[in-house]
């Protein structure tokens, strides 16, 4: 029986032709797959190109920022400077003092009565003998008139007693009357004389009381606030005063010094001229008045170890007031040719006080290591055409001409003492006529390029023969400008 015939499927399950490994032919890829691969490659290439471009742009921006930073670092720093001065300064002791009226008078009534008139204005300056107030004088004038009348009566009695005494004396001489009768008449005459003297004293007392009704100023001074108004009854010996008068021309200042300072004050007082005393305000910067030392108290306060001193001031401008607190400077002597700089120029570091002295020329080579980007700065350029003080460029002035470069040197100094806003330095650190930085020190290092601007007029002593004149901003400072630098070559922090 024949086998059944196997039927072919009606459709193929795989449309791809079978690949025979012996044929050596690659199968053909579809056109869509090849296009996708090309697009992917293009996108990757674009991303790589974008990354490379961004990296290069970042490098250029970083280089530009570095160039700007370097240019900023090389720019001269604008600073304000002042001149070192050489002049005579006082050597003094300081103390806290109290202004005291040279004389103080509390005016009271010396007779009782009604207060009629007040002839002053509170706070007015009055003179010695000027009428201030007036008490009702009528009772005291009546008492004076009564005393005068009594005197006239007793004077008539005296005349009669004198005539009787003369008559009885003559009768006694003639032997008519006895000695006792004559002596009695003489005694009556003496009593009448005594009554006359008593009457004269009564008149004087009445006249004094009458004068006391007119209250006058015993000193030159300033009246305070009145304590009693017109129309009130005032009584002699009352605890309530009428007014207080203070003498302020001259005026006194009482201050204290430690007992250890008294010997040098006493030695200074032995000179021919009196010691000068200066009164300053609360900030110790503004001088109010100048006077002279009057005396030292005769004893030391054992509780504080201080002695009181009294100074006298003319006070012509009324700058001092009674009970005002002032800072006192007792000038003992003067220091000639002292080196003076503004206190604002003094900076303090770990090694002590120092100042920045402005000198001509760019940053020295030995100090460029302290300055950022200093090596990139052109030699002698002063830092390029960056902005300087007052809107000028760093090395070009307003006239368009190049300006000489400047740099600062940190110079150690020793401050002997401070006078107001100035400091007196020990000799040798800086020289008169040099410029020191008074504003902008916080931006400076030792050797920094600067653009100086003079902030105050020059007031140094006249330069000696052959000495250069003091410089101005934009010109080279006088002097060598080489001070004593710190050993590490850096400015103090």
Three-state secondary structure string covering 219-259: CCEEECCCCCCCCCEECCCCCCCCEEEEEEEEEEEEEEEEH
- Decide if domain 91-100+245-335 falls under CATH 1.20.120.160: no
483 pLDDT tier (thresholds 50, 70, 90): very low
- Give the residue with greater pLDDT, 8 vs 371: 371
pLDDT band at 480 (very low <50, low <70, confident <90, very high): very low
Pairing assessment for the beta strands 233-234 and 113-118 based on DSSP bridges? antiparallel
Residue spans of the domains in the chain: they are 77-87+339-454, 91-100+245-335, 109-133+220-241, 137-212
Please state, in angstroms and as integers, the Cα–Cα distance from residue 484 to each residue in 267, 408, 429, 439, 440, following that order.
38, 12, 7, 21, 21
Other CB atoms within a 10 A radius of the CB of residue 318 amount to: 12
Above 50 in pLDDT, residue 404? yes
pLDDT range class, residue 77, cuts 50, 70, 90 = confident
Q: Which residue has the higher pLDDT, 368 or 88?
A: 88
pLDDT digits 0-9 by tens, 323-374: 999 999 999 988 888 999 999 999 998 889 999 999 998 877 777 666 654 4
The pLDDT value recorded for residue 392 is 39
Fold classification of 137-212 is Helix Hairpins (1.10.287)
| Structural contact between residues 134 and 158, judged by C-beta atoms closer than 8 angstroms | no
Cα(448)–Cα(376) distance, rounded to whole angstroms?
Answer: 14
- Global pTM value: 0.54
CATH topology of domain 77-87+339-454: 2.40.420
Lowest-pLDDT range of 43-52, 247-256, 322-331: 43-52
Q: Calculate Rg over the CA atoms of the chain.
A: 53
- The DSSP bridge partners found for residue 464 are none
Residue 12: pLDDT over 60? no
Whether residue 34 is preceded by a cis peptide bond, meaning omega within 30 degrees of 0, is no
Give the pLDDT confidence of 158-167 residue by residue, as tens digits. 999 999 999 9
User: Is-same-fold flag (77-87+339-454; 137-212)?
Assistant: no
**What is d(CA 420, CA 280) in angstroms, rounded to the nearest whole number?**
10
Mean pLDDT lowest for which of 19-28, 232-241, 309-318?
19-28
DSSP state, residue 442: G
Q: What is the mean pLDDT of residues 67-81?
A: 73
Contact 262, 122 (CB under 8 A): no
Per-residue pLDDT averaged across 224-230, rounded?
Answer: 93
Q: What is the pLDDT of residue 445?
A: 87
DSSP secondary structure letter of residue 447: T
pLDDT at residue 369, as a whole number: 62
Tokens of residue 472, six digits: 């101005």
| The pLDDT of residue 464 | 33
The CA distance from 308 to 92, in Å, is: 17
**Residue 357: per-residue pLDDT:** 94
C-alpha pair distances (Å), 342 with each of 149, 436, 472: 82, 9, 17
Structure-model confidence comparison of residues 478 and 80, the more confident one: 80
pLDDT of residue 140: 96
Q: What is the mean pLDDT of the chain?
A: 80
Task: Provide the pairing of β-strand 449-454 with 77-83.
Answer: parallel
pLDDT, average across residues 133-145: 96
Residue 447 region by backbone torsions, left for phi larger than 0, else alpha for psi between -120 and 50, else beta: left
């Amino acid at each position: 029986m024949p086998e059944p015939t196997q039927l072919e499927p009606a459709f193929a399950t795989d449309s791809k032709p079978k690949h025979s490994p012996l044929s050596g032919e690659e199968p053909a890829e579809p056109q869509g797959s090849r296009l996708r691969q090309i697009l992917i490659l293009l996108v990757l290439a674009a991303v790589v190109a974008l990354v490379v471009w961004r990296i290069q742009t970042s490098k250029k921006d970083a280089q530009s920022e570095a160039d700007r930073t370097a240019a900023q670092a090389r720019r001269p720093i604008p600073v304000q400077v002042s001149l070192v001065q050489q002049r005579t300064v006082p050597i003094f002791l300081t103390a806290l003092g109290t202004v005291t009226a040279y004389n103080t008078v509390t005016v009271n009534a010396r007779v009782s009565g009604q207060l009629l008139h007040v002839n002053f204005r509170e706070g007015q300056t009055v003179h010695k003998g000027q009428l201030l107030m007036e008490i009702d004088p009528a009772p005291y004038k009546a008492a004076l008139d009564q005393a005068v009348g009594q005197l006239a009566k007793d004077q008539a009695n005296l005349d009669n007693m004198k005539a009787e005494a003369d008559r009885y004396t003559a009768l006694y001489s003639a032997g008519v009357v006895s000695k006792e009768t004559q002596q009695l008449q003489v005694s009556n005459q003496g009593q009448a004389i005594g009554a006359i003297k008593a009457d004269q004293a009564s008149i004087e007392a009445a006249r004094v009381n009458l004068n006391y009704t007119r209250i006058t100023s015993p000193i030159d001074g300033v009246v305070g606030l009145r304590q009693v108004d017109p129309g009130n009854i005032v009584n002699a010996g009352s605890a309530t005063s009428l007014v207080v008068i203070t003498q302020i021309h001259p005026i006194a200042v009482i201050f204290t010094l430690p007992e250890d300072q008294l010997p040098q004050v006493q030695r200074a007082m032995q000179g021919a001229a009196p010691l000068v005393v200066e009164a300053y305000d609360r900030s110790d910067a503004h001088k109010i008045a100048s006077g002279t030392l009057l005396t030292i108290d005769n004893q030391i306060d054992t509780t504080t170890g201080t002695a009181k001193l009294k100074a006298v001031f003319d006070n012509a401008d009324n700058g001092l007031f009674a009970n005002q607190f002032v800072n006192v400077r007792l000038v003992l002597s003067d220091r000639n040719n002292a080196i003076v700089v503004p206190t604002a120029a003094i900076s303090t570091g770990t090694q002590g006080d120092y100042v920045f002295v402005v000198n001509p020329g760019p940053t020295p080579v030995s100090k460029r290591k302290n300055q950022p980007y200093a090596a990139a700065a052109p030699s002698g350029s002063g830092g390029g055409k960056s902005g300087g003080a007052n809107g000028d460029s760093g090395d070009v002035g307003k006239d368009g001409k190049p300006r000489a470069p400047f740099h600062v040197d940190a110079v150690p100094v020793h401050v002997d003492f401070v006078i107001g806003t100035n400091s007196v330095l020990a000799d040798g650190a800086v020289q008169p006529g040099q410029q020191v930085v008074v504003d902008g020190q916080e931006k400076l290092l030792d050797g920094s390029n600067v653009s100086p601007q003079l902030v105050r007029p020059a007031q140094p002593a006249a330069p000696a023969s052959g000495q250069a004149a003091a410089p101005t901003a934009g010109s080279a400072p006088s002097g060598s400008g080489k001070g004593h630098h710190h050993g590490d070559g850096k400015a103090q922090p």
